[in-house]
Amino acid sequence: MISRRGFLAGTAGVAMAGFAGIRISQAATFESMDIFIPGSPGGGWDLTGRVIDEVMKKNGLIGNSRITNAGGAGGTIGLPQFINQYDGEADALFVAGAIMVGTTITNNTPVDLTMLKPVARLTGEYQVLVVPSASPVQNLTDFVALLKKDPRSVTWAGGAPGGTDHIFACMIAKAAGVALGDLSYVAYTGGGGEAMASLLGNQVSCGISGYGEFAEQIKAGNLRAIAISAPERVSGIEVPTLVEQGVDVTISNWRGVFGAPNIGDDEVKALIDLTTTMVQTRDWKDQLATRGWSDQFLPGAEFAAYLEKDTIATRSVLVDLGLAK
């Protein structure tokens, strides 16, 4: 999740190494699949889950499917629901990502992602800082100047406290020399749709999310993207980085899928084979290109090892920012 220079480079290398050793597998077709999304319609997890459903159906990997949305509190409402309702169910996938790592730490929840079976890390996405098209802010220099002048007047729309959006906002503020106590962060915990509405309605000064969630409105001219959280320019996305504009902040938001608690090793392997086959389809690769998602596929045990490291790194940054103990 947190990508301070070397950490980002290291995880990207692991992703590529993990993918390079994968051979195309023939996954057994699942007659049905439950896709559980711990966010409201319109957000990044929702979009990821629905793309998975579309691609798997189109390629004959699953038959019937049911999508369940249970949004709120950065996924920490949906997570215990999935754990309790799908215990031992081998034909279910839980969509999650870096945001939930942060929110479970910040909220000190009694359940976390270690209670699920890691199936695959699928994508990575950089965060983008946007302002409404009517805003006088034209670039990051303007934004930082406004933030320094009157930080409390700058309202930020983002996801749950402790999640990737919130961390990104805090990192920008800290780099600008602004006290985190002066940050006017508005947390929309149900999903990206609420934050989008507040931006399009000019109810907030700026917004933070993954690029894919804002892409259509940026292209339509309704939002102005002033910075992206990548360490260098991203191919196909015409948005300058914070780094090139003099603010040394980078962060990446991964998303992946998990199996239910208490399913057997063979059942976990079947889900890993399923996702391994899916990510090698042309339809999936087209979706990555269209939505600006980077391919960060890591299956099973490799994903579990990455998750352990990411949790440690995320906790360290949250403690540093004063968002966790």
Show the domains of the chain with their CATH numbers.
6-124+254-320 (3.40.190.150), 126-245 (3.40.190.10)
Checking if the pLDDT of 26 tops 80, the result is no
Band (292; pLDDT cuts 50, 70, 90): confident
Helices 265-279 & 300-320, crossing angle to 10 degrees?
A: 80
Better-scored residue on pLDDT, 45 or 10 = 45
In 81-141, DSSP assigns E strands to: 92-97, 117-132
Helix, strand, or coil here: 15? helix
Hey, which of 15-29, 157-171, 262-276 has the most confident mean pLDDT?
A: 262-276
Token pair in block for residue 47: 């979009």
Residue type at 195 in one-letter notation: A
For residue 128, give the DSSP letter. Answer: E
- Residues 237-266 have pLDDT tens digits of 999 999 999 999 999 899 999 999 999 999
Nearest C-alpha neighbor of 111 from the set 78, 159, 72, 71: 78
Query: How many CB atoms are closer than 10 A to CB 207?
Result: 28
Q: Render pLDDT for 98-113 as a digit per residue (tens, 0 to 9).
A: 999 999 999 999 999 9
- Mean pLDDT over 49-56 rounds to 98
224: nearest Cα among 243, 234, 203, 238: 238
